[in-house]
Structure 1
Amino acid sequence: MAAYNAWQNGSLMSAADTLTEAARQEDRAAFFGSIQRTFSHLLWADTLWMSRFDRWDKPAGGIAESVQFVEDWDQLCALRADADAMIRNWAKKLDEGAVEGRLAWHSGALGRDVEKPLAVCITHFFNHQTHHRGQIHAMLTAAGARPGDTDLFAMPEAP
């Protein structure tokens, strides 16, 4: 899933890069408004989850501020690529035993402490990305961009 995540983020960001800044920023009535704001939220959320999984620095702010986590497009693209590489490296180190156990944290979204099986949290991490990338894909298509294939079985072999 980490390889799929990186492939899809690269594909969608490349498609978004063909648009003007105004087109990326345009409010398209999606949950986070624009293409760029949704990408920013995704990077923020990935960073937050990786702070729990792999001790990354926890990002500032909450969900409302996540859309402004990275406002510069070029910086967002670079940080997304870096994060995807680090997520892949983290995932490569996991074995079956590494996902056993539970994860406890304070959820700002729920406003309370939460404890869940680690495997469920990792599944949520990748599912959350897929959910918002689907929104981005729809916005890109509506804007006239042409994102690549999203089928898991069509994913190129990892280098």
Structure 2
Amino acid sequence: MIMPDYARTMAHYNAELNRRIYGAALRLSDEQRREDCGAFWGSIHGTLNHLLWADRLWLSRFGIGEAPGVPIRESAKLVSDFDALWAERQAMDETLIAWADGLTTEDLGGELSWHSGATGRDMTKPRDLIVVQIFNHQTHHRGQVHALITRFGEKTGDTDLPFVLP
């Protein structure tokens, strides 16, 4: 389905978009970042927390780092301080890039099995599909955050893949 270059490209794109999103969010007040605007995870802060939570969880299933210590329903509250959340996001992006840079075609083959707390059952899916899910999930929720940020009048710059990476 995908090749290692896909994961590398998406990991670098992901990191750059996170820099743009967090840069714009840092220009907002803490009150604006925490305002429940009706997004699935409530606020900008909550949604960005959920993204960090999900990346930790998925990478732990690939044997990288540890799973977050809270269930999905509490993922929006993972890190309370926004500056600390930004620092943890940057570290996670470096981890994602290093992981993606090391992937081989063989790493993307086969299946990944885990117990899903969200569905309450054991799951098995192709490994390459899960890699796509990691980056698709980022894009999905980051788009929600982008909408909330622009609602407050801030700008992030280009977000389209062909215009972001060299």
TM-score range, shorter chain: over 0.9
Contact 1:54 1:90 (8 Å CA) reproduced: no
SS in 1 for 2:124: strand
Identical pairs, percent: 47
Partner Cα distance (1:71, 1:37) in 2: 9
Which TM-score applies when normalising by structure 1? Answer: 0.96
Task: Show the counterpart of 1:100.
Answer: 109
Which TM-score applies when normalising by structure 2? Answer: 0.92
Task: Show the counterpart of 1:133.
Answer: 142
Q: How many residues end up aligned between the 2 structures? A: 157
Task: Show the counterpart of 2:26.
Answer: 17
Structure 1 ranges of 4+ moved more than 4 A: none
SS in 1 for 2:77: coil
Does 2:158 match 1:153? no
SS in 1 for 2:132: helix
Q: 2:17 aligns with which of 3, 8, 27?
A: 8
Task: Show the counterpart of 1:44.
Answer: 53
Partner Cα distance (1:4, 1:156) in 2: 7
Task: Show the counterpart of 2:3.
Answer: none
Q: 1:110 aligns with which of 119, 126, 144?
A: 119
RMSD of equivalent CA atoms:
0.8
Partner Cα distance (1:133, 1:150) in 2: 10
In structure 1, runs of 5+ residues without a counterpart are: none
